[in-house]
Amino acid sequence: MPREPLQFESRVERLSILDEDGKADEELVPEIPDDLLVRGYRTMVKARRFDQRRLKLQRSGRIGTFAPVNGQEAAQVGTISALDETDWFVPSYRETAAHFWRGTDPKDILLYDAGYNEGGALAEDSRTLPLAVPVGTQMLHAVGIVHAARLLGEEEIAMTYFGDGATSQGDFHEAMNFASVFDCPVVFVCQNNQYAISVPRSRQTRSETLAQKAIAYGVTGIQVDGNDIFACHVAAREAVDRARNESRPTLIECVTYRLEMHTTADDPSRYRDEEEVAKWRQRDPIERFGKWLMARGLVDDKGIERMEEEITDEIQAAWKATEARIETLKDVGPMFDHVFAELTPELARQRARMQDGHSPGGWKDG
Amino acid sequence: MAELTMVEAINLALAEEMRRDERVVILGEDVGVDGGIFRVTKDLIEEFGEERVIDTPLAESGIMGVSVGMAMRGLRPVPEMQFSGFSYLGFHQIESHLSRMRWRTQGGRQVPVVVRMPYGAGVRALEHHSESREVFYTHMPGIKLVVPSGPRAARTLLVAAIRDPDPVVFFEPKALYRAFREEVSDEEDEPITIGKAMIRRDGTDLTLVAYGAMLPRAMEAAKTLADGGIEAEVIDLLTLSPLDHEAIAASVRRTGRCVVVHEAPLSYGPGAEIAARVMEGAFLKLQAPVMRVTGPDVNVPYFAREQLYLPDAERIADACRATMNY
Ligand SMILES: Cc1ncc(C[n+]2csc(CCOP(=O)(O)OP(=O)(O)O)c2C)c(N)n1
Ligand SMILES: [Mg+2]
């Protein structure tokens, strides 16, 4: 028998539509109503301004650390906007822009950032999950959710987010594999922002692209310009259709860049130079989308100015409300809430002791 | 009434709960067609189909993570970790999500998952198949951990675990899987309340605390002691977390002496926690220090020496006599 190359189907493409100068391949621009286009733009701007405000709050000690979205707004808003409200959004920890699109209240995010569990409270019927810190773990939840829905006789789809670093995790492999084996309608959105904290993408894998990892699972993969909101949206729409109509997963690699620090505790100058960052600033997702919108007459300078003012006011009001709420949350008691469905006698005892100013364990009459 | 082994009793409980509640699903490695490598899930796939008895890819984190997702969407998954020694690949999902999803969503999501896993030594198994690492899970807030000591307890505890709104790690003493049979009612038994210990033998001289595969050995030791005129009260913990320390302290207040038995290593084992609770709850009644009869602080040796590692009735009785003569 001669040796011959293995034949297998590769369903991996690359897509870009809107270039750095705001010029689009108009043939490929998806049909989106004007008001949604403007709403998308506003969401991107709001996420960026929110981070700028949060950075000030963090530097002055009023909130803790957080992961800025700066530079990745198109990757998030482009993809999440392909979902319906009844679809599941299963984020990692950097998806503030996607959260805003889904309607997450900035007050909740700020309360979480300020260190209060109450900020993570989830309505029972919510299909937006709270952020997940352990890298890669949330992808499996998306798979479990849609698989459970199917067993319950419902057709539901999920979109889950993760980074380039997360593709090195076993959970990425396990989630992609489970999703494919069980025909789960999950859209895997990888925001390849080139770094996992300090470690560059080239140190995560020798695979030429992350999108091609889909091949090994028998999954459709696509790489898109992650700073191009149209490419992100088209890929996400196709993936959502595939999920809904064929109940099959898709892997989308959004090639993007984190313009800011990993979190506020990080100093990027230790691992990358300004030149590289400057190059990516030229490809800013908000600027290029703004140019396209202006050329289309959908926004103008005055309108943007008004939008900026509204956003500033909205964020300011959210922080004021958060500060007021914090004043009511000083008791030690709430850390014992929701550990179990019902407070156990042991936890009740520990809580009572702490509320009396003692350590949780202690002497008791015999 | 039928005489069942623990494997059969667990199988019965799973089948009953799956009949009663459509939301109960099983998933794991070899749980479907094969019926589980210990046959705990035998024939369930025939009755409930492959949608509810799911043979998964070989990936413990995947099994746990998918279970968390399924539970968040309203199912009651009962994943099986083939051996507790391999549950560590799913540990991250248990610690980071299963144990705290209710807490971190402020009650918005519940994850009523029962993670079944065989543990413990005594079946002449390979490396990694014999350890008793219950404290990995008892140390996790938000997780309940139960350990049956016989077929009847296994059946009723598993029913209680599946009906519990919180995640439960269900430790199955594999040494007892087929060690003996017990009468198990065809009717539904009263589920044992999770968090309650049971007195298996009344006694006035000392309190002997055990659970899982050590319970039969403690009972045997109690019998030997009785021949020598020492009456041990034997407490079967059944739940390790939350621990029924009230029951232990109440008994020690009567007897004044306490010996704890477990096959997990000595240091930082459940015995340490129990000793501290006895100090809190029965200090002035204590006539001797709490004694621990446990495995040593080594891994379970390869099977030629596993019986040497494990506490046996002789060692337990010996410790009890030492406590009496203190
Ligand atoms: C399991 C796990 N290991 C390590 C960390 C610490 N950590 C937080 S974010 C991060 C890098 C993640 O990189 P990537 O997946 O590319 O996502 P990005 O932060 O770039 O969005 C690391 C190592 C963690 N949160 N979880
Ligand atoms: Mg990254």
Give residue-wise pLDDT tens across range B48-95.
999 999 999 999 999 999 999 999 999 999 999 999 999 999 999 999
**Residue A90 burial class via C-beta count within 10 angstroms: exposed 0-12, middle 13-18, buried 19 and up:** buried
Residue percentage of chain A with pLDDT more than 70: 99
> Assign residue A331 a region: left if phi > 0, alpha if psi is -120 to 50, beta otherwise?
beta
Taking the CA of A263 as reference, the closest ligand is 1
Are A143 and A182 a contacting pair, CB within 8 Å?
Answer: yes
- Give the pLDDT band (50/70/90) at residue B188: confident
Residue percentage of chain B with pLDDT more than 70: 100
- Give the pLDDT band (50/70/90) at residue A366: very low
Are A95 and A131 a contacting pair, CB within 8 Å?
Answer: yes
| Chain A residues whose beta carbon lies within 8 Å of the beta carbon of residue B73 | 144-146, 148-149, 152, 156
CA distance A28 to chain B (A): 36
- Residue B198 at interface with chain A, using a CB cutoff of 8 Å: no
Q: Do A339 and B102 touch (CB under 8 A)?
A: yes
Are B142 and B166 a contacting pair, CB within 8 Å?
Answer: yes
Give residue-wise pLDDT tens across range A257-302.
999 999 999 999 999 999 999 999 999 999 999 999 999 999 999 9
Are B28 and B2 a contacting pair, CB within 8 Å?
Answer: no
| Chain A residues whose beta carbon lies within 8 Å of the beta carbon of residue B72 | 129, 141, 144-145, 148
Q: Do A120 and B89 touch (CB under 8 A)?
A: no
Distance A165 CA to ligand 1 centre (A): 6
CA distance B183 to chain A (A): 32
Task: Indicate the range of A326-330, B190-194, B286-290 predicted with least confidence.
Answer: B190-194
Which residue out of A140, A181, A363 would a mutagenesis test of the B interface target, given it has the greatest number of B Cβ atoms within 10 Å? Answer: A140
Q: Do B102 and A134 touch (CB under 8 A)?
A: no
3-state SS string for chain A: CCCCCCCCCCCEEEECCECCCCCECCCCCCCCCHHHHHHHHHHHHHHHHHHHHHHHHHHCCCCCCCCCCCCCHHHHHHHHCCCCCCCEEECCCCCHHHHHHHCCCHHHHHHHHCCCHHHHCCCCCCCECCCCCCCCCHHHHHHHHHHHHHHCCCCCCEEEEEECHHHHCHHHHHHHHHHHHCCCCEEEEEEECCEECCEEHHHHCCCCCCCCHHHHCCCEEEEEECCCHHHHHHHHHHHHHHHHHHCCCEEEEEECCCCCCCCCCCCHHHCCCHHHHHHHHCCCHHHHHHHHHHHCCCCCHHHHHHHHHHHHHHHHHHHHHHHHHHHCCCCCHHHHCCCCCCCCHHHHHHHHHHHCCCCCCCCCCC
Give residue-wise pLDDT tens across range A193-240.
999 999 999 999 999 999 999 999 999 999 999 999 999 999 999 999
Q: What is the mean pLDDT of chain A?
A: 95
Whether A164 lines ligand 1, by a CB cut-off of 6 Å, is yes
- Residue B92 at interface with chain A, using a CB cutoff of 8 Å: yes
Whether A249 lines ligand 1, by a CB cut-off of 6 Å, is no
Whether A135 lines ligand 1, by a CB cut-off of 6 Å, is yes
By most ligand atoms within 8 Å of CB, the mutation choice from A65, A76, A174, A197 for ligand 1 is: A197
Residues 201-240 of B with CB under 8 A from A: none
Q: What is the mean pLDDT of residues A38-57?
A: 98
Joined tokens for residue A276: 């590289």
Are B190 and B198 a contacting pair, CB within 8 Å?
Answer: no
Are B214 and B238 a contacting pair, CB within 8 Å?
Answer: no
- Dihedral angle at the C-alpha atoms of B120, B43, B34, A216, nearest 10 degrees? -110
Q: What is the mean pLDDT of residues B9-38?
A: 97
| Chain A residues whose beta carbon lies within 8 Å of the beta carbon of residue B105 | 120-122, 130, 338
How far, in Å, CA of B254 to CA of B269, rounded? Answer: 25
Are A223 and A185 a contacting pair, CB within 8 Å?
Answer: no
Q: What is the mean pLDDT of residues B111-124?
A: 97
Kindly tell me if the per-residue pLDDT of A361 is higher than 90.
Answer: no
What is the per-residue pLDDT for B251?
A: 98
What is the per-residue pLDDT for A364?
A: 62
Beta bridge pairs of residue A12: A221
Taking the CA of A93 as reference, the closest ligand is 1
How far, in Å, CA of B259 to CA of B291, rounded? Answer: 5
| Chain A residues whose beta carbon lies within 8 Å of the beta carbon of residue B284 | 366
Q: What is the mean pLDDT of chain B?
A: 96
Give residue-wise pLDDT tens across range A121-180.
999 999 999 899 999 999 999 999 999 999 999 999 999 999 999 999 999 999 999 999
CA distance B34 to chain A (A): 19
CA distance A182 to chain B (A): 9
The minimum-distance atom of ligand 1 relative to the CA of A263 is 19
